[in-house]
Amino acid sequence: DIQMTQSPSSLSASVGDRVTITCRASQSIGSYLNWYQQKAEKAPKFLIYAASSLQSGVPSRFSGSGSGTDFTLTIISLQPEDFATYYCQQSYTTPPTFGQGTKVEIK
Amino acid sequence: EVQLVESGGGLVQPGGSLKLSCAASGFTLSGSSMHWVRQASGKGLEWVGRIRSKTSNYATEYAASVKGRFTISRDDSKNTAYLQVNSLKAEDTAVYYCARHGPWDGLDVWGQGTTVTVSS
């Protein structure tokens, strides 16, 4: 199975900050990388597919980049509603696997 | 509104069984692959399995941790997918989500989840 490793596991940031989360795959996955946001006690929400394509309705302050094994999710100008846990997921091969999550907390 | 609603969770003894349902509304299930993902309390997301659409002969795939114990099925006429969970273990305790495979990639629609608790 492909292992997905996110860093950091958690971070503290303030409203208005720029936040970057990294996701690394244990082998090359091309651009088969998706990102999700999950708030406490809620289902995950789909943010980005194919490494950099924004899902419809997702604010443009979210962006994704990368290919191969290294990927990033960037949130420019963090908003109060962005405090949540973020997961990357590879869809290159079965089983699809998730990173362990990055919790974005209020500083 | 595009929506998925899970049901069927509950408290079950080790070795027991449950059948979880995932009812779709606002879209036709038949054209989509459907996934099940679970999340133990305080833990991350774990993919459970997938059932593909009719065009892919309803092929199923499972995580190694549940293969042989869990079965995914679907009834497109009822716009519903199912997850039959058998031989349950304590480590199967989790919130179970169903999710639609999006038209481009990724899981674009998620249900609210249903909780399965395995305990004596």
Cα nearest neighbour of B35 on chain A: A96
How far apart are alpha carbons A5 and A100 in whole angstroms? 7
Q: Which residue of A9, A36, A71, A73 is the best one to mutate when testing the B interface, meaning the one whose CB has the most B CBs within 10 A?
A: A36
Closest CB from B35, B47, B104 relative to A49: B104
- Are A95 and B108 inside 8 Å of each other by CB? no
Contact B106 A95 (CB under 8 A): no
Q: pLDDT tens for chain B, 120 residues: list them.
A: 999 999 999 999 999 999 999 999 999 999 999 999 999 999 999 999 999 999 999 999 999 999 999 999 999 999 999 999 999 999 999 999 999 999 999 999 999 999 999 999
pLDDT cut 70: percent of chain A above it: 100
- Per-residue pLDDT reduced to its tens digit, A21-79: 999 999 999 999 999 999 999 999 999 999 999 999 999 999 999 999 999 999 999 99
Q: Is the CB of A93 inside 8 Å of chain B's CB atoms?
A: no
Cα Dmax for chain B = 43
The CB-based long-range contact list for A60-63 (8 Å cut-off, 24+ gap) reads: A62/A35
CA distances from B100 to A2, A9, B4, B85, B107 (A): 22, 27, 8, 19, 5
Q: Which is it for strands B80-85 and B70-75: parallel, antiparallel or unpaired?
A: antiparallel
* % of chain A with per-residue pLDDT over 90: 98
